[in-house]
Amino acid sequence: MRLFKLTLSTIFRRKSWAICALLVLAFPFFLPSLSSSAENPALLKPALAQAAWAMTWLCTIFWGFFVAARLGELNSRSGVGEYFLTTGVSATRQLLEIWAAVLVFVAPLGLGAALVCIIGASPALPDERSMWLATNLQYALLFVLVVAPLIAIAIAIASRFGSITGFICSAGLAVYGLYGVGYMKLLISTEGSPLLTWLWSSSPHYHFADPTERLRYKLGAIDWSDFPLLVAYFVGIFLIHTALSRLIFRAKATA
């Protein structure tokens, strides 16, 4: 696990993770005061919950995926990957160790957003509070299932085509899955194109892992009979994307 420790130490020493932690844990308490929720106390808690998850997704997309892409490129082009190959660390294990190190810093962002919502925005009624707790924990798990394969994609593509390409591909896929598929559905309802319908159905529907609407309107937790099916859906995407990442990843640059 030497590459894992090296990558973990590299991310930790750059300290940019601390800015993301601050944005997720502290900024949501300040952000609602800049909106209309300051004039209506009833909107304060929903606004705080929305801000917490919005900051989590923004930090993950613009920091987490960039860090993953940057490390993937450095591993292949700096000679570190080639060195570890000579010591018996396979390319598969190198991808796994870099991925695990990045995930150590990204996964807690989802848990941090859940804790902000639970501590700062829980409803007063006991039944609603327990449902609020379950909802946030469900989405913290879905968050990890969504971002984990995207981190692998960022590392793999960057190792072959550069960090900018790796970042754009992973971030673009995340934004498309969170927001783009919704606009495509509206387009399908007006155009009725079979090609667009097929594209929409085969797209990754990451918006299922975004709790913003559910928390804002207190829709409650995902039904526990449906939750395993949703987990299985994202696990399937996880397996497909990680397999593609391994095919793309290279541990050393070609001459």
To the question of pTM greater than 0.85 for the whole model, the response is yes
Amino acid at 98: I
- Lookup result for tokens 């000679």: 79
The count of other CB atoms within 10 Å of the CB of residue 54 is 18
Residue with tokens 């940019």: 16
Question: Could you list the pLDDT tens digit for every one of the 255 residues in the chain?
Answer: 889 999 999 999 988 999 999 999 988 887 666 555 555 556 677 778 888 999 999 999 999 999 999 999 999 998 898 999 999 999 999 999 999 999 999 999 999 999 998 888 787 778 778 888 888 999 999 999 999 999 999 999 999 999 999 999 999 999 999 998 888 888 877 777 788 888 888 899 999 898 877 777 667 778 888 899 999 999 999 999 999 999 999 998 765
Distance CA 28, CA 25 (A): 7
How much is the pLDDT for 193? 76
Helix (H, G, I), strand (E, B) or coil at 124: coil
Domain segments of the chain as ranges: 2-248
pLDDT (0 to 100) of residue 110: 94
Tell me if residue 189 falls in helix, strand or coil: helix
Contacts of 161 (CB under 8 A, 6+ apart): none
Indicate the SS3 state at residue 249: coil
